[in-house]
Chain A
């Protein structure tokens, strides 16, 4: 679709214009890190980031969300009846989302909305959200998006994409949704040389990312062969089961459901991010636990990301190569190395 241009000086005014109509999430500096936050002022948006610490999944799927509410008051005629909680699904924009994270939402869609069941909250927020991405000119050393079927300029998950060309942003509008949202701002067509500049930036960025492993080789392996392989002993050894990797991951969607009671007479049913790294995740009331060992939990995480999801949907791994888990793991467990081991069946140093 059409290519437009926003001079850097005009950018705050454009964000403000979007904010007049939409709730706008953008990367905001928070201490040493960046996080996606709903903007209160346009100036807080800071696109000078590599990527945010936590993925933007929380915008569509909050870490803690009230599902339902109910009254426990004995004299309430509706006592104990679980009811829908009012929610705000008004239109919103995620500005500056990276291509990998946007692709992650597409992978999450397969889980939240199957042919049989639709998660109503995910589906409605997803529908209400327009993704205006930012291409990665300078990927981090931990990025491996090109290994897993996306890339620094991949537009598949986006409604529009910005490319920082130095003095401004080139803007590609990619979908109807993107067109509608950006229709409210005044945009100038991109000068002729911008297209060439984008190609150059894209080629440079892609070249800077080495291939980390071969997802197709993992897809071809027998599930039980990798599941039962001895190399898990080595892979899991240092893991603390802290869960950091799963919380930061754009495609970790697992949640717990908990009831919480206030003042004794009112309560909520909540859903809360959970993680297969925790032993309670699979713990039966009887005391039996099918994944009581740390090695089983670590295996579940990597098998899910790199093997089960590939087998279930046939659309590649459930990993988009953002590298957050590689950066944040306190004991340096590296999914790229695990991918190499799974693909080659050997834990010899690559």
Chain B
């Protein structure tokens, strides 16, 4: 019987420190058994359970894109037991990955639509996956205009800085990078909170969907802006976080009413969330 709790063994290929505070590191994994990569077929927006023998398992959004082959990537914030242990692991170490878990951004519905992607802090991981996926030459023509508002407290806390710069230089994606504040005199981008920058750039709601991931305060203050811009709740999509263990809707801990965030989510429209108990 196929065991959904059993992780695939992976080797850490590289560990990159993303931010100046060294709290975020990106891990690139390679499957020890190449056939496992095929079994781990994922879609942008999904997450996986990362398994460290002797420490435990944690749910982490998949930061690589399905269009990137031969490896998978995750960006991990140092928080507690498993994440701190991972921060001290190095290239060559063996760990495990289980999944992919959960649903994904509704790529079929999003075809032919404009997208406004709003991210804050380190919740940018599955948004990176999504952007890389859409910018892939095979996919770019399927989607309309892409606007990205991405904010961090200061420039040193932005993830994937080389890629952000490369996207800035392209003409098929409108980047609106912002920081809460900076002392850097050469800072070329925006300064201000994500809700304010979203309001200022005012991406059109016409034929558009918004995907918003970030800290609760950012979401709380950005939602009214989106509503003002004309986005109805069924066209605002978010991804939730809950404490998780099984990742497959069995252990019972991540429910919002009838829905298990690990299996029926983590991606929900605002309209769906408005019908569920507000316990996240």
Contact = CB atoms under 8 A, between A and B. Distances in A.
A154 B250 CA distance: 27
A290 B251 contact: no
The range of chain B's interface size is: 35 or more
A310 to B, nearest CB: 9
A204 B79 CA distance: 60
Given A68-B6, A70-B53, A286-B79, A80 B252 contact: no
A117 B260 CA distance: 13
Contact of B6 (A84, A254, A283, A296): A84
Given A257-B251, A285-B83, A120 B1 contact: yes
Interface stretch (B141-149, B156-164, B219-227, B240-248): B240-248
A227 B57 CA distance: 31
Interface in A87-139: 111-112, 114, 116-120, 123-124
Identify which of A257, A300, A312 gathers the most chain B CB atoms within 10 Å of its CB: A257
Contacts of A224: 275, 277
B9 A81 contact: yes
B241 A117 contact: no
B244 to A, nearest CB: 10
A44 interface: no
Contact of A303 (B51, B93, B257): B257
A117 B4 contact: yes
A255 interface: yes
A291 B279 contact: yes
A254 B252 CA distance: 5
Contact of B252 (A82, A227, A253): A253
Interface centre among B55, B83, B258 (most CB of A within 10 A): B258
Looking at chain A's contact residues, the main secondary structure is mixed
A282 B253 contact: yes
Given A118-B1, A257-B57, A80 B93 contact: yes
B94 A118 contact: no
Contact of B258 (A111, A258, A291, A312): A312
Nearest to B9: A81
A79 B79 CA distance: 25
Contacts of B95: 80
Contacts of A259: 52-56
A125 to B, nearest CB: 12
A276 interface: yes
A284 B5 contact: no
> Which 6 A/B pairs are nearest by Cβ-Cβ distance?
A254-B252, A285-B79, A285-B80, A80-B94, A70-B53, A312-B258
Contacts of B57: 257
Contact of B280 (A72, A112, A290): A290
A81 B252 contact: no
Interface in A156-171: none
Contacts of A111: 250, 252
Task: Report, as a range, how many residues of chain A touch the other chain.
Answer: 35 or more
Given A111-B250, A111-B252, A118-B1, A82 B53 contact: yes
Interface in B11-33: 32
Interface in B200-218: 216
Chain B CB within 10 A, most for which of A82, A114, A253, A257: A82
B250 A119 contact: yes
Given A227-B277, A291-B279, A303-B257, A255 B245 contact: yes
Contacts of B279: 290-291, 296, 300
Interface string B228-256: 00000000000001110110111111110
A112 B254 CA distance: 15
Contact of A308 (B53, B80, B249, B255): B255
A16 interface: no
A261 B52 CA distance: 12
A201 B248 CA distance: 44
Interface string A263-289: 000010001001010000111111010
Nearest to B280: A290
Contacts of A119: 4, 250
A244 B48 CA distance: 33
B253 A276 contact: yes
A223 B276 CA distance: 8
Interface in B43-99: 51-57, 79-80, 83, 93-96
Q: Report which residue of B9, B242, B250, B279 has the largest number of chain A beta carbons within 10 angstroms of its beta carbon.
A: B250
B80 A274 contact: no
B3 interface: yes
A114 B253 contact: no
Given A116-B248, A282-B243, A290-B242, A82 B6 contact: yes
A79 B94 contact: yes
Given A82-B7, A285-B243, 20 more contacts: A68-B5, A80-B9, A82-B6, A82-B9, A82-B96, A116-B248, A117-B248, A118-B4, A120-B4, A120-B5, A124-B1, A223-B276, A254-B252, A257-B245, A259-B53, A259-B56, A261-B54, A285-B80, A290-B242, A291-B279
